[in-house]
Amino acid sequence: MRTKNKELDVDFIGSQEPLTSSEERALSEFFKKKKEKEQKSLRPRKISEKVTTEM
């Protein structure tokens, strides 16, 4: 028998008060760090060329 998931009809999660300026700054810093971390992991690695000397 199949179970049905009940969808919640919710517009807000948490309180309905606007964020304080310190909360906004904290979220902004979090997302900047997350974005930087993702960009670092996506950068191609530098491949050093092997130097050979001919004699």
Instruction: Kindly report the backbone phi and psi dihedral angles of residue 35, in degrees, each rounded to the nearest multiple of 5, phi listed first.
Output: -65, -45
DSSP 12: -
pLDDT at 3: 72
7 pLDDT tier (thresholds 50, 70, 90):
confident
**Mean pLDDT of the 42-49 span:** 67
Q: Who wins on pLDDT, 27 or 41?
A: 27
Q: Which amino acid is at 11?
A: D
State the pLDDT at residue 45: 64
d(C-alpha 52, C-alpha 4), whole Å: 67
Is the predicted pLDDT of residue 50 greater than 90, yes or no?
Answer: no
Mean pLDDT over all residues of the chain?
79
User: Rounded CA gap, 29 and 25, in Å?
Assistant: 6
